[in-house]
Structure 1
Amino acid sequence: MILRLTNSFVVCLFAGLFLNSALAQDPAPQELRIPDAPPGVGEGDRSSSVRLSLQHLQQLAMEHNPTLAQARAETWKANGQFVQAGLKPNPNIYYTGDEIGNEGAAGLHGAYVSQEFVTGGKLYLASQIYALRQRGANWERTAQIYRVENNVRAEYFQIIVAERLLQLSMEVRQIAESSLKTAQDRVRQGESSKIDQLQAKIELQKALVLNRNAQAEYDAAWNRMQAVIGWNGLAPQPLDEDIEMGTPELEWETTRDRLLSLSPQVQQAQARAASAMAKYNRAVVEPTPNVTVQAGAGYDYGTEDAFGRVQVGMPIPIFNKNQGNIRTAHGEWIRSCREVERLKLQLARNLAEEFKKYVASRAQLELYRGELIPASAETLELSQKAFEAGQLNYLQLLTAQRTFTETNIDFVRTKNVLWQSQIAIDGLLLTDGLQAPKESVNAD
């Protein structure tokens, strides 16, 4: 006998809430394979004409970055709990013996089978909790892919910037060496004091320090790239720099709405809220008693009679109506709904900071390109010619050199700020490729 009790209101409410819920399936776990060095990547390729592309580096990160395997494992965990939550209870089988040896008789012997029948749609409701958690895990995996790809992209442009700063430092060094030679010639000819020569030596030493710092920054950028990709076999080599990013003029409200509508973090928070609602619905039907049916047959060796037995039982929800768990689940649902709102506000605040950097650096970059860079280059060229002709003292030349150096360094660094802000905005503010993915499933 099967007794099926249903709470029609709760079941209908839940069915309407999750009618469109799709269960995302993930392939079974496979052993991660670390591929050999791909063509164009290795110690011996620095002089190669083949330039490493951003897409190539991102593909390497997809294969090696450990956080992506972690994110995928979270989806497997969620799928496992989804499957487990919907499984029916196992039947039980018993053997009984009674009055064995009473007055020398063999007694009563029987075998029984019992089965618990879960009522109120509890198995379906429980499985939906983890179906929605699996959806959240899938969104976290998507977010992690964004983080890794955006981090590789950010480091790619960091390397380009570091390489340009290194080239610039070499140009500054050449200018300083040329100025020192000119100052030495003028001292020998009695056209200038030794102070100019000493000052020129100081400027050359500063240029050498600038060059060493630029080299260190270049090496550090490649080391960070290796860490994000997760493979130490990647050697510094020329990059494909033909991907100069455009800098469109962004509009705040459009950018904010795009972030909030596409963000995997918001989608994950919404899945958590839906899962909390499913957990509340499950708690509501918990008092609906499950029915346990037992059926069996026996044999009385004393009377040589066979007999059958049927037993039906269920708990009576008088004292424990799951009141505490219902209240707890309701509180968790409210908190998770507010978490969606909080997360949207936090993302909007973080976007505002990146948006400010983007707008400010874009305006500065236009000023550098249109006026400051051409003016500083022309000033330096004219100052060098005037100094060599004896029409300018070294202090004036030094001022032109410093202006040229600082202007070009600021230009490159401003471009880097613009690029990094644009990457963050385009990448939905997901930029840390070594951040561990969140655990979307916790055992209850």
Structure 2
Amino acid sequence: MQSRHFVLGAVVLLAQLIPSGARAADTTSTPLTLEQAIVMALFASPELRSVAQDVAIAAGARVQAGLRPNPELSLLREGTSSNSGRTDTYQLSQPIELGGKRDARIRLADRDQALARGDVAVTAAELRANVTAAYLEALTAQEHVALARESLSLAGKATNAAGRRVAAGKISPLEQTRSSVAEAGARLELSQALADAALARRRLAAYWGGTQPENRPLLVPDIDLAAIPSLTELQTRLASSPQMRRARAQIEREEAQVNLAKADRVPDLTVTLGRKKDSLANVTQTVVGVAVPLPLFNRNQGSLLSALRRVDKARTDAEREYLKAAQALADAHQRAMVAQEQIDSMRKEILPAAQSAFNAAVTGFELGKFGFIDVLDAQRTLFQSRAQYLGALSARYRSLADLRRFVAVEGDVGTPPTDRNAQ
């Protein structure tokens, strides 16, 4: 079923098989290219906007991390009456962070920002791949509609020809019945193709918030069928994929958390400066004090241990992500290579032979040398060959979309927005 829905590039074949009049309806409106679809999805995707807003949130946390502790102003009064010896003490206390806590907080906030940007890159890569797959699915459905219309037109012509030959007494009425059944089947195939096309176009439009099927004609992306590099070259690019960059950013973030936990083990110093006034003796004294917690019980050992274990987990997750991506990359590359071999074989041998056999059958039928069953068999073989070709194109371009989730195969289109309000 998926081979019917994920086909790309059928225009290359059908442009030579479908009369120009049958394609005229597709040129009455401005077509939608794959690049335009990706850009529309990038700027309209709520999911991408959500992760992009995380970057702004992390920026606010970075500002907060660089702030120093506020001083504290206090008033102490001993006694309530000035005649009985009331004492007032005014003092200003300033906490002083030791152990590099502020720098550690800043580094952690910087790592959080990098991690948020990594989430944006991963989400954008996934969105580009998903939109590409949806576009190819809709394009496949569009070409299946064209193919079904051609099949129906051909079946109608065959039915008319059979009717004329039956009227002339040259063939049995059974041949006309067969042609009518074939035409009815072609009509049902067109109805199903139209329904599939509407569903595929609705799924595509949903990526930019559309609720109705996208009605603009779709175009074959300008992608070279021989452009996929070797698996070894793609694997070398995997280290710079958005997924692996985010995994490394997660490790760096957890390491920064360890540094902050170590800094928190050092107690902070509080310096106090003030004045003490005795109303009865009318004496004013300067007050100076220093306070420091004694780390006898709480040395932040639990937080440090958790932070160290999170670093280990982040490294394990990065290893798992690499193995997962490498396997997916190898699978997609293998599918692409197999599909490419099938495409080459179909173009060079199978499609020309099927087209030649069909043309010979039609000519022989018109001359009375072949029966209508021979035309039906040749037609069935030709359309099955086209379907196989479309299926190979489907597998090839779908695997390309899967490759683009991890590495840049060709120049990717579309730039993800980081601040929607600034657009």
TM-score of the pair, normalised by structure 1: 0.80
Counterpart residue type for residue 180 of structure 2: K
Partner of 2:91: 112
Counterpart residue type for residue 100 of structure 1: T
Provide the rounded CA distance (Å) in 1 between the counterparts of 2:55 and 2:92: 37
SS at the partner of 2:229? coil
Counterpart residue type for residue 317 of structure 2: E
Aligned pair partner of 1:160 in 121, 139, 157: 139
CA 1:54/1:242 → structure 2, altered by over 3 Å: closer, same or farther?
A: closer
Does structure 1 retain, via aligned residues, the 8 Å contact 2:89–2:277? yes
Larger displacement relative to structure 2 (88-97 or 387-396): 387-396
Matched residues, percent identical? 24
SS at the partner of 2:73? strand
Q: Deviations over 1:283-327 (max 9, x none)?
A: 123221111112211221111111221221111112222222221
Counterpart residue type for residue 277 of structure 2: Y
Segments of 5+ residues of structure 1 without an aligned counterpart are 1-44, 431-436, 438-444
Q: Alpha-carbon deviation of 1:359?
A: 0.9
CA 1:182/1:234 → structure 2, altered by over 3 Å: closer, same or farther?
A: closer
CA 1:304/1:46 → structure 2, altered by over 3 Å: closer, same or farther?
A: farther
Provide the rounded CA distance (Å) in 2 between the counterparts of 1:222 and 1:288: 61
SS at the partner of 2:126? helix
SS at the partner of 2:94? strand
Partner of 2:21: none
Provide the rounded CA distance (Å) in 2 between the counterparts of 1:306 and 1:78: 49
Q: Deviations over 1:96-142 (max 9, x none)?
A: 1112138x436111221111111000121122112112101112212
Segments of 5+ residues of structure 2 without an aligned counterpart are 1-24, 409-415, 417-423
Q: Alpha-carbon deviation of 1:61?
A: 2.5
Larger displacement relative to structure 2 (287-296 or 383-392): 383-392
CA 1:234/1:179 → structure 2, altered by over 3 Å: closer, same or farther?
A: closer
CA 1:172/1:268 → structure 2, altered by over 3 Å: closer, same or farther?
A: same
TM-score of the pair, normalised by structure 2: 0.84
Counterpart residue type for residue 252 of structure 1: L
Aligned pair partner of 2:65 in 85, 96, 102: 85
Partner of 1:196: 175
Aligned pair partner of 2:288 in 290, 310, 320: 310
Partner of 2:274: 296
Counterpart residue type for residue 110 of structure 2: A
Residue 415 in structure 1 maps to residue 393 in structure 2 = yes
CA 1:186/1:136 → structure 2, altered by over 3 Å: closer, same or farther?
A: same
Does structure 2 retain, via aligned residues, the 8 Å contact 1:64–1:231? no
Provide the rounded CA distance (Å) in 2 between the counterparts of 1:73 and 1:211: 45
More helix by proportion, 1 or 2? 2
Q: Alpha-carbon deviation of 1:242?
A: 6.7
Provide the rounded CA distance (Å) in 2 between the counterparts of 1:379 and 1:48: 35
Q: Deviations over 1:251-294 (max 9, x none)?
A: 11111211x12211111110110111111122123221111112
Partner of 1:319: 297
Partner of 1:280: 258
Q: Deviations over 1:56-93 (max 9, x none)?
A: 33332233222221121011122222222332221111
Provide the rounded CA distance (Å) in 2 between the counterparts of 1:65 and 1:237: 20
Provide the rounded CA distance (Å) in 1 between the counterparts of 2:255 and 2:48: 29
Provide the rounded CA distance (Å) in 2 between the counterparts of 1:307 and 1:207: 105
CA 1:55/1:284 → structure 2, altered by over 3 Å: closer, same or farther?
A: same
Aligned pair partner of 1:406 in 376, 384, 408: 384
Provide the rounded CA distance (Å) in 1 between the counterparts of 2:138 and 2:224: 14
Aligned pair partner of 1:96 in 51, 57, 76: 76
Partner of 2:8: none
SS at the partner of 2:91? strand
Q: Alpha-carbon deviation of 1:50?
A: 4.0
Counterpart residue type for residue 289 of structure 1: P
Does structure 2 retain, via aligned residues, the 8 Å contact 1:152–1:229? no
Does structure 2 retain, via aligned residues, the 8 Å contact 1:156–1:225? yes
Aligned pair partner of 1:332 in 310, 320, 323: 310
SS at the partner of 2:342? helix
Question: What is the root-mean-square deviation of aligned Cα atoms in Å?
Answer: 2.4
Larger displacement relative to structure 2 (347-356 or 160-169): 160-169
Provide the rounded CA distance (Å) in 2 between the counterparts of 1:226 and 1:46: 18
